[in-house]
Structure 1
Amino acid sequence: MLFMRRYDIDWLRVIAIGLLLIYHVAIGFQPWGRMISFITSNEPWNGLWTPMAMLNVWRIPLLFFVSGMGVYFAMRQRNWKELITERTMRIWLPFVFGMFAIVPLHVLVFRYYYKMELRYIFDPGHLWFLANIFVYVLVLSPVLFYFKRNENGKVVQAIRKLFSTPLGLLVVIGAFVAEVMIIKPIPYELYAMTWHGFVLGLLAFFFGFCFVLSGERFIQMLLAWRWLFVSLAAGLFALRIHYFGMQAPGYLVVVESQLWIYSVLAFGHKYLNHTGKVLQYLSAAAYPVYILHMFFLYLGSVLVFPLAIPVQLQFVLVLLFTLGGCLGSYEIIRRIKWVRVLFGMKF
């Protein structure tokens, strides 16, 4: 069977990692950043948080959706044992390595900057996402491989029919609304190492797989409705900012989040479903950049925040230092075979 490569999914993964970098840099300019163990500037930039608040409700869920989509393609030529082995090497190994060797580095930088006792602390840190993804693969593999073996069966055909119309998306939204009504996360954006983040990620991962499984009819439905999706998402964001002061009811945040995601998937497929040298480079670099970025972010913050320069320039310098440090490290990592494996790259 001939499969067409979905380059838009690769682009969305790269873009989501890029947004993660920008978002984490922005936290360093919020007065509450230190409460969640970020190094913060003495000159806050409160206005920066408005666009970040828009991103924050969908950037992590989007990564979970994209991860589920990626597993569909990873399963095409693998049985369940091969998939688990491959995911262990590319997800679990980098997670364990990062928890013991990478995350402690930025913890040390944080403690140094705030004149705390310097000691080694291993912690999942920002790599919690990898642990979640690995668990989802283990838990959902029986169901996903059932779908794979029975792509012409009644269940898969029902899924494809469901997601050929916007009514199918109401089922997805309903599942996420049920999650927030049961778990009641406060705030909604608290994904890391919480039951909310775990269940939300599990749902997004599963539905991401189902979206790709649904094929061309799902894509055409997204494209046909994309302008309505993005208009409604923008309207709900405006309502959240101006009426609720960022803290809208969970069910409204879910609807806004999902509409942003459907918009991104639709516009991404329309304009980004092509490859090139830039995508090939960034797609390979994205994983190591994700693993390393907090260390270079903290190091850049230590170097830049003491400078008597405008806060906007501080933001740009920290972002450039973070990106430059990550890409420079990637250039070293990709040339050493055994190190490549530790950062989730193919041997």
Structure 2
Amino acid sequence: MKTARRHDIDWLRVITIALLLIYHIAIIFQPWAMFVGFVRSEQSLEGLWTPMTLLNVWRIPILFFVSGMGLFFAMRRRNWKQLIGERTRRILLPLLFGIVAIAPLHMFIFQKFYKLPLGYYPHMGHLWFLGNIFVYVLLFLPVFYLLKQREGGVFQQILGSLMSNPVGPLLVSLFFMLEAILVEPQVYSIYAETWHGFFLGALAFFFGYLFVYSGQHFWDTVKKWRWGYLALALSLYAVRYLEFQLEAPGYLMALESNCWILGILGLGYRYLNRPSGLLQYLSQAAYPVYIIHMFVMYLGALLILPLKIHPFLQFVAITVFTFIVCYLLFEFLIRRIWFLRPLFGLKGKVDKEVAKKSWLAMLKSNF
């Protein structure tokens, strides 16, 4: 069964991963960076953290939502055996490779930066996200295929009717609010390798699938009410900033997170659901860049932080370094060498047409 590709979902994945890189670079300039396993600048930019706190409640959850949506579309073209095989190649293989060959690289730089004894340390690091996604696929696949077999049934009709009301998508927040109350995370925005991150991610993945499964009603609703969701999110952020010094009770942050996500999904559907050569390239690049970005970012910090320049210029320089080096590694190594491609979640066979075009050529073709 052929399904039209949703370009807005591809764009949101690309944009969110780009924001994730900037968010991680901002951590380098916080006084607590070392305590979360980051290299740390001696010159802090604590003011930089205020805009980052606007991102931190939805930057990871939206990726889980989008992953659940992506599974819906993947299931249109594959049976369960094909889907598990495809997800094993695209998620589990890069995860295992990353644990032994990628994450140890930024740990090596971390040790060198802090003048610690150098040693090989295989670990999951930032790739915990891939591990979670693979578990969710195995966990929810039986339910999703059952729902697929009953498309057009009573449940889908009720769900579609619920999603046609602006309150409908917001009701999903109750599950996230309950998760925050039951798990009681010390810091809501710490998702990596925590039970809070696992359960929140599972909810987002599950409801991401259900949002698409509910049909056109959901997309019409978030497009129509996008500014309302964003206004509610901004109001909740203002309360978090003014009343709670940015760390509000978990149930409020869960509601804020979902409001941002619903508004952003609405914006994406309204403005980004169109194809482009640039999107085709960036969609392919986003996953490998996510895998390698920590190593590249730590390398940039190692080279740039010793320079006697203003910390904001250091932040800008590390950001530019990270994006450029990630692009170069993807363009000239990962994308072009056939045996590297599967290790970074790409198909083993190089698309000759795409291979002829660089990011710059595709950018030029769009203007």
TM, length-normalised to structure 1: 0.98
1:161, distance to aligned residue in structure 2 (A): 1.9
Q: Distance in 1 between matches of 2:17 and 2:227?
A: 25
Residues 5-29 of structure 1: CA distance to partner in whole angstroms, max 9, x if unpaired? 1100000000110011000000000
Counterpart of 1:166?
A: 166
Counterpart of 2:326?
A: 326
Q: Distance in 2 between matches of 1:163 and 1:186?
A: 32
Q: Distance in 2 between matches of 1:5 and 1:343?
A: 22
Matched-pair contact (CA < 8 Å) for 2:103–2:124: yes
Structure 1 stretches lacking a partner, 5+ long: none
CA RMSD of aligned residues (A): 0.9
Pair 1:307 & 2:282 matched = no
Q: Distance in 1 between matches of 2:158 and 2:242?
A: 41
Aligned identity (percent) is 54
- 1:110-259 matched pairs, under 5 angstroms: 110-259=110-259
Q: SS of 1:338's equivalent? A: coil
Pair 1:105 & 2:105 matched = yes
1:3, distance to aligned residue in structure 2 (A): 2.1
Q: Distance in 2 between matches of 1:94 and 1:26?
A: 26
Matched-pair contact (CA < 8 Å) for 2:68–2:205: yes
Residues 240-275 of structure 1: CA distance to partner in whole angstroms, max 9, x if unpaired? 111110111111111111100001000011111111
Q: Distance in 2 between matches of 1:2 and 1:128?
A: 32
Paired residues, number: 347
Q: SS of 2:225's equivalent? A: helix
Residues 128-180 of structure 1: CA distance to partner in whole angstroms, max 9, x if unpaired? 00000000000000001111111112222222222221232233111001101
Matched-pair contact (CA < 8 Å) for 1:297–1:322: yes
Q: Distance in 2 between matches of 1:317 and 1:170?
A: 40
1:92, distance to aligned residue in structure 2 (A): 0.4
Structure 2 stretches lacking a partner, 5+ long: 349-367
Residues 180-202 of structure 1: CA distance to partner in whole angstroms, max 9, x if unpaired? 11100111011000110000000
Matched-pair contact (CA < 8 Å) for 2:103–2:122: yes
Matched-pair contact (CA < 8 Å) for 1:16–1:63: yes
Matched-pair contact (CA < 8 Å) for 2:163–2:214: yes
What amino acid is aligned across from residue 77 of structure 1 in structure 2?
R
1:215, distance to aligned residue in structure 2 (A): 1.8
TM, length-normalised to structure 2: 0.93
Pair 1:340 & 2:345 matched = no
Which segment drifts farther, 152-161 or 201-210?
Answer: 152-161
Residues 43-74 of structure 1: CA distance to partner in whole angstroms, max 9, x if unpaired? 10011001100000000000000000000111
Residues 208-251 of structure 1: CA distance to partner in whole angstroms, max 9, x if unpaired? 01111112111111112111111111111111111110111111
Residues 289-317 of structure 1: CA distance to partner in whole angstroms, max 9, x if unpaired? 00000001000000000101111110111
Q: Distance in 1 between matches of 2:142 and 2:164?
A: 25
1:2, distance to aligned residue in structure 2 (A): 4.7
Q: Distance in 2 between matches of 1:157 and 1:169?
A: 15
Q: Distance in 1 between matches of 2:294 and 2:4?
A: 35
Matched-pair contact (CA < 8 Å) for 2:164–2:221: yes
Q: Distance in 1 between matches of 2:5 and 2:97?
A: 30
Q: Distance in 1 between matches of 2:224 and 2:241?
A: 28
Which segment drifts farther, 129-138 or 325-334?
Answer: 325-334
Matched-pair contact (CA < 8 Å) for 2:219–2:266: yes
Q: Distance in 1 between matches of 2:150 and 2:251?
A: 34
Matched-pair contact (CA < 8 Å) for 1:103–1:123: yes
What amino acid is aligned across from residue 71 of structure 1 in structure 2?
L
Matched-pair contact (CA < 8 Å) for 1:31–1:40: yes
Counterpart of 1:75?
A: 75
1:330, distance to aligned residue in structure 2 (A): 0.6
Q: Distance in 2 between matches of 1:162 and 1:66?
A: 20
Q: Distance in 2 between matches of 1:13 and 1:149?
A: 28
